[in-house]
Amino acid sequence: MSEGELLLRIDPERIGASGIRTVLARCEDSSHRSLSSDGAWDGCQWKSNAVDLGLITRRFGEKAAVGSAVHAAVAAELLGDPVDIRGMVDSHLEADGVDPFDLAKTYEKAERLYGLWYEDVRPEWLSVGVYAVEWELHFQIGDVIYHVHPDCVLADGSLRDLKTSEKRLEQFRANYDHQLTTYAYSLWRVFDHVPPRVGLDGLIYANPPADIAELHPGWKKPWHDRQDSSRTVAQFRTFEESVARREASRRFAATSGIYQTQAEHGQSWVCRSCEARTICPAWREYEWPGQIGAVSESD
């Protein structure tokens, strides 16, 4: 690893009254790769490029605003800052341009999810000790710079990622979750540290399914879906290979002007609620299976 390849934190750190690290402001450099930009590219190259060109604005909904508010409240609590969960919900709804159908229920959802974290997850994190929350790390692969924001780094060097959802986590998701892999990779690249454990803490806003209710008769909505796993250097090498393939596809698209759409990946049903479909060439020119037709000029 050459000196130029290793890029440490760019934005200054803040250390809260509790001694926990975070960042003063997130990096906004649009040339940097991130989990969201990689996910957008893998989902639909055409839409990702349209967002980059300013042709459309990526749209977020009430669920995303609630999840962001819960994350902000968790960080504030750990750092010793005031927690105003309703104010945080309002802030994220406004930022995302969301007008919820029932604001009272949106508040209730955020409050109950945060309450679940406080009662069930917070004690587990604090029993180990929290080193950093909503941290920011930068690393470089080839010519590409990434910025990532691990939700929680514990004092033993392990990682926890907080999820808010209305359904349980996929079985064994922690074993293959791309976000956990990227976070673990960032610690390895920046600090030469392989986390001893990585894990997911799912805050599930739904009634427990039958198998969970049988194991935990007293559990109600919402409930904590915890998964634990690990990562190895061999997995980090595979991650580097995936980054290289993605960058090759980006270079080809930029050179050729050919940007594949979600529909070309066989996932046209996902396009039904896409904010880009009225200008998408695949939707304008083709009739897709499943009664999903091309969009008319008046749609």
Quick one: 168 and 139 in the same domain?
Answer: yes
Asked if residues 255 and 236 have their Cβ atoms less than 8 Å apart, the reply is no
The answer as to whether 98 is a domain residue is no
SS3 161: strand
Asked if residues 163 and 64 have their Cβ atoms less than 8 Å apart, the reply is no
DSSP string, 33-68: B-HHHHHHHHH-HHHHHHHHTTSS-----HHHHHHH
Quick one: 9 and 146 in the same domain?
Answer: yes
The answer as to whether 95 is a domain residue is no
Asked if residues 150 and 135 have their Cβ atoms less than 8 Å apart, the reply is yes
Asked if residues 9 and 24 have their Cβ atoms less than 8 Å apart, the reply is no
State the pLDDT at residue 298. 40
The answer as to whether 114 is a domain residue is no
Of 11, 286, 240, 37, nearest in space to 136 by CA: 11
Quick one: 251 and 270 in the same domain?
Answer: no
Quick one: 282 and 252 in the same domain?
Answer: no
The answer as to whether 154 is a domain residue is yes
Quick one: 243 and 275 in the same domain?
Answer: no
CATH number at residue 184: 3.90.320
Of 70, 57, 128, 127, nearest in space to 96 by CA: 57
The H or E element containing residue 95 is helix 85-96
Query: Which amino acid would we find at residue 109?
Result: K
DSSP string, 199-259: EEEEEE-SPPPHHHHHH-TT--SSEEEEEEE---HHHHHHHHHHHHHHHHHHHHHHHH---
pLDDT in tens, the chain (299 residues): 343 444 555 567 888 888 999 998 888 888 899 999 999 999 899 889 988 888 887 777 888 899 999 999 999 999 999 999 999 999 988 887 778 788 999 999 999 999 999 999 999 999 999 999 999 999 999 889 999 999 999 999 999 999 999 999 999 999 999 999 999 999 999 999 999 999 999 999 999 999 999 988 888 999 999 999 999 999 999 999 999 999 999 999 999 999 988 765 555 666 777 878 778 877 754 444 433 333 333 44
Quick one: 272 and 247 in the same domain?
Answer: no
Quick one: 42 and 147 in the same domain?
Answer: yes
The answer as to whether 199 is a domain residue is yes
Quick one: 137 and 199 in the same domain?
Answer: yes
The answer as to whether 23 is a domain residue is yes
Asked if residues 269 and 290 have their Cβ atoms less than 8 Å apart, the reply is yes
- Give dist(CA 54, CA 33) in Å, integer: 17
Quick one: 47 and 164 in the same domain?
Answer: yes
State the pLDDT at residue 106. 92
Quick one: 292 and 243 in the same domain?
Answer: no
In which domain, by residue range, is 48 found?
3-58+129-256
Six-digit token string for 270 = 């996902």
Angle at 93 between CA 91 and CA 73, to 5 degrees: 50
- Give dist(CA 177, CA 270) in Å, integer: 21
Query: Which amino acid would we find at residue 72?
Result: A
Quick one: 187 and 141 in the same domain?
Answer: yes
Asked if residues 138 and 23 have their Cβ atoms less than 8 Å apart, the reply is no
State the pLDDT at residue 3. 39
Which residues contact residue 28 at a Cβ distance below 8 angstroms, ignoring those fewer than 6 apart? none
The answer as to whether 91 is a domain residue is no
The answer as to whether 275 is a domain residue is yes
Quick one: 157 and 222 in the same domain?
Answer: yes
Number of domains in the chain: 2
